[in-house]
Amino acid sequence: MRSGDHPPPPRPAAIDLAAAVLVFGGLLGFSQLALGEYVVTGSLPAKGPIIGVATIAYAASIALGVVVRVGRAWLLAVNLAVLVAILYLPAADRPLPLVLALLHGLAGAVLVAQRRWFADVAAWRNGARDLSG
């Protein structure tokens, strides 16, 4: 908080939930890659390229989960949450990927529903005194 300014808008609990899903999903994905249990790729023949994409998605998921909590990268986080949900769909015949797909879809929906908070945080950062609320 800048000196002389009012406090930032309170963060809704739903934002923390979405951030936790992104961070947890990324960490779980990395652990699966480290163990060789490929949640995303399942039994697909071309695992190499898909593992590369999954690694990037997992790293971005962790980073965006942290950044979203401070009111930044809204659009990027929404797109990533939906992309990761889609990436899990080929393996959705198993329980874990299905749950992860649903959770990432939920995180994307929560971020869209909480768009106003991101706008209020951006206005607060820019020094706007009137936060519509």
Cα 32 to chain centroid, rounded = 18
Burial class (CB in 10 A: 0-12, 13-18, 19+), 43: exposed
What's the predicted TM-score (pTM) here? 0.82
Structural domain boundaries in the chain: 13-125
- What per-residue confidence (pLDDT) applies to 40? 56
- What per-residue confidence (pLDDT) applies to 81? 95
Per-residue pLDDT of the chain (133 residues; tens, 9 = 90+): 553 468 889 999 999 999 999 999 999 988 888 887 665 555 555 567 777 877 888 899 999 999 999 999 999 999 999 998 998 888 888 898 899 999 999 999 999 999 999 999 999 998 865 555 5
Q: Tell me 45's DSSP state.
A: S
Residue 17 tokens read as 């939930």
- What per-residue confidence (pLDDT) applies to 12? 96
- What per-residue confidence (pLDDT) applies to 79? 96
